[in-house]
Homo-oligomer: A and B are copies of this chain.
Amino acid sequence: MSEKPKTNPSQPRKLRDVAQWDRETDVAIVGFGGAGGCAAIEAADAGSSVIIFELASSSGGSTALSSAEIYMGGNGGTRVQQACGFEDTTEDMVTYMMMAAGPQADEEKIRNYCENSRAHFQWLVDIGVPFKDSFHQERAIMCLTDDGLLYTGSEKAYPFSQQARPCPRGHNLYVEGDNGGPLFMKIVTENVEKRDAISVDYETRALTLIVDEEERVVGLVIRQNQQELNVRARQGVILCAGGFVMNEEMIRKYAPMLTAGTEPIGNPGDTGSGILMGMSVGGAAINMHEGFISLPYYPPASMTRGIVINDKGQRFINEDVYHGRLGAFALRQQSDRIYFIVTVEQYGDYERVSYLGAQVAGTGETVKELEQELGLREGTLQQTLKVYNEDCTRGEDSICHKAAEWLEPLEPPLVALDITPGRGAFVPYFTLGGLDTLPSGEVVDAQRRVIPGLYAAGRTACGVVRRAEGYSSGMSVGDATFSGRMAGKQVASAERS
């Protein structure tokens, strides 16, 4: 053990080994992204003093790198939803999010998120986040216009649409281009800076937690200017240090499915240190195997009119789902290849606007020609297209249940893109596992007992979104900001130790 670093996130420091407190605060927050910023604002507004410790030299986290779409609705609809003519219900939102999370859903957390979602919208507006009352019609991964609302998930797609009335819930900031993240964090940072009760220490690494004899978290050890300092947190510590997508060893160990991806999505601080710190004091890390992994096949939205097949020439997923769901199902096939088949017209400006970067695997003046070029068993793609085209004419996809609005017979000439993960296509990924928390943000152990003094939010916690196959854009920043607020409020109500 002698060669190991003295202070590391997996070994909490004992209070008895703390010679003196170098800093004192009511609330210590690790990480200044969307979660940490919102947690700080709520804690300060409830009367606590707060220090945020941020590894980087400025605020931002992964929220600033994102589009900052925010998944909100229910309760009759947010102001934007209502202005655009959508009357969302809490039950539809709960049903959708429960289906999205599947068997690992945390219903209590999802209900809390949905029931308070319109209020969360209002809170964001109150701190100055601008949303335009306009609806973006086109199918998009991110909104490049300044429209305030769009569909960002699989709400209109099978099987979700069978059980929850579809409603758009992706709220986009009032800004042109993919600039929501920087704007959002600018607003949050301004809100933090104008509160005297909050101070921010940049270029500061949180090393490990400090626990007392009763295993209560009473502070943390930080490193600043090459010095280790002991920080006392009288009310508690909130871990908002992101996920572990940048930690290759943890990915291999906990989320090996993600090794099929090509591009980790996050910031360099997403090393899992927050999760490890929580685990070191008994916090349960759950859903660690899951992650977002995707084949971002639109734009152009016209790709949705194409079909995806495996090496058996079979369709296996409705192509109008969210791109992450398509990616998840593509990875589950026992198949050497996955192809996206489109007409030349649907291919359209793919090369200019696509993020996917998949290469053309074949073209055909006839279906048979394409079938041969792809090395598919004779008759398989022909049969698949025969059935599909008949279904398009009838207006009902009997095989995969793609919505009628996307059904259009595929007439040659056809183009096949090789979207097999590992064959050149862009396959982004990030983690969806983290510390198990109550809706309040309190970290719990494997038997769901609260660990006193410890809170987590954002990707360090395991939030409302739990699976690639149920992901919708806006759920991460939605969860980060909302869970940050919950933790900030809760810690501010704790007694000072």
The one of B104, B316, B333, B445 that contacts A256, using a Cβ cutoff of 8 Å: B104
| A residues 165-183 touching B (CB-CB < 8 Å) | none
Nearest to A251 among chain B residues (CB) is B103
Number of chain copies forming the complex: 2
Q: Are A446 and B11 in contact (CB under 8 A)?
A: no
Residues of B within 8 A of A279 (CB): 279, 282, 284, 446
Question: Looking at chain A, what size class is its interface with the partner chain?
Answer: 35 or more
A396 to B445, CA, bound (A): 53
Q: Are A334 and B312 in contact (CB under 8 A)?
A: no
Which has the most chain B C-beta neighbours within 10 Å: A104, A312, A334, A379? Answer: A334
Task: Answer whether residue A332 sits at the interface, using C-beta atoms and an 8 A cutoff.
Answer: yes
The one of B10, B250, B259, B318 that contacts A103, using a Cβ cutoff of 8 Å: B259
**A104–chain B nearest beta-carbon distance, Å:** 4
Nearest to A376 among chain B residues (CB) is B398
Residues of B within 8 A of A215 (CB): 11
Residues of B within 8 A of A387 (CB): 377, 379-380
Residues of B within 8 A of A423 (CB): none
| A residues 315-342 touching B (CB-CB < 8 Å) | 315-318, 329, 332-334
A399 to B314, CA, bound (A): 10
CB contact under 8 A between A256 and B10, given known A282-B280, A289-B288: no
Ranked nearest first, the 3 interchain pairs of A and B with the lowest CB-CB distance are A103-B256, A289-B289, A104-B256
Supplied contacts A4-B449, A250-B446, 12 more A-B pairs, CB within 8 Å: A159-B334, A249-B448, A253-B284, A276-B446, A279-B279, A279-B284, A287-B289, A312-B314, A314-B316, A316-B333, A379-B383, A383-B383
**What are 15 A-B pairs at a CB distance below 8 A?**
A1-B214, A4-B449, A11-B282, A102-B256, A103-B257, A104-B252, A159-B334, A253-B284, A276-B447, A279-B284, A316-B333, A329-B334, A334-B400, A377-B387, A383-B383
